[in-house]
């Protein structure tokens, strides 16, 4: 079992244990559900990790010392994109508009759709 799996299992177990303990002492439904949900949420993470275990062989988990792997040139990552800042601007104006200024909200909604479209195109 990888460390990531072990981590998720312990979090799930801890969440459910505290939820049980809390129910035992406080008999309060809201808090028990809150605590239970954070345990169960990580159960989903855990399930996902198990399901995708075969596909993910991680370099870092290599047990022997792969010194021959070191010193390699590292690949290229994308370094810039205009969409994150535009998406932030559009969603901020949308939120503010919806609450305080419907016209701004409507305008921002269109902008938001345009930005999402641009982002999706870039991601292809």
Sites of contact with other proteins (CB under 8 A) = 2-4, 7, 10-11, 14-15, 18, 21-22, 25-26, 28, 30-31, 34-35, 38, 41, 56, 58-63, 65-67, 69-85, 87-89, 91-92, 95-96, 99-100, 119
To other proteins, the closest distance from the beta carbon of 15 in angstroms equals: 7
DSSP category for residue 53: T
For tokens 């022997």, name the residue: 64
Q: Considering beta carbons, is residue 56 or 110 the nearer one to other proteins?
A: 56
Min CB(92)–other proteins separation in Å: 4
For residues 26 and 78, give the distance between their C-alpha atoms in angstroms, rounded to a whole number: 51
The residue among 124, 92, 119 whose CA lies nearest residue 108 is 92
Q: What is the distance, to the nearest Å, from the Cα of residue 36 to the centroid of all Cα atoms in its chain?
A: 19
Residue closer to other proteins by CB (options 2, 110) is 2
Q: How far apart are CA 39 and CA 46, in angstroms?
A: 10
């Amino acid at each position: 079992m990888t460390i990531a799996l072990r981590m998720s299992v312990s979090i799930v177990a801890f969440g459910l244990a505290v939820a049980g303990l809390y129910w035992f002492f406080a008999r309060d439904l809201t808090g028990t559900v809150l605590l239970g949900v954070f345990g169960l949420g990580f159960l989903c993470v855990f399930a996902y990790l198990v399901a995708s275990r075969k596909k993910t062989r991680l370099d870092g988990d290599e047990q022997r010392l792969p010194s021959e792997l070191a010193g390699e040139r590292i690949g290229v990552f994308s370094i810039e994109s205009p969409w994150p800042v535009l998406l932030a601007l559009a969603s901020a104006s949308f939120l503010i508009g919806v609450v305080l200024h419907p016209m701004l909200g409507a305008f921002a909604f269109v902008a938001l759709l345009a930005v999402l479209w641009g982002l999706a195109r870039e991601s292809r």
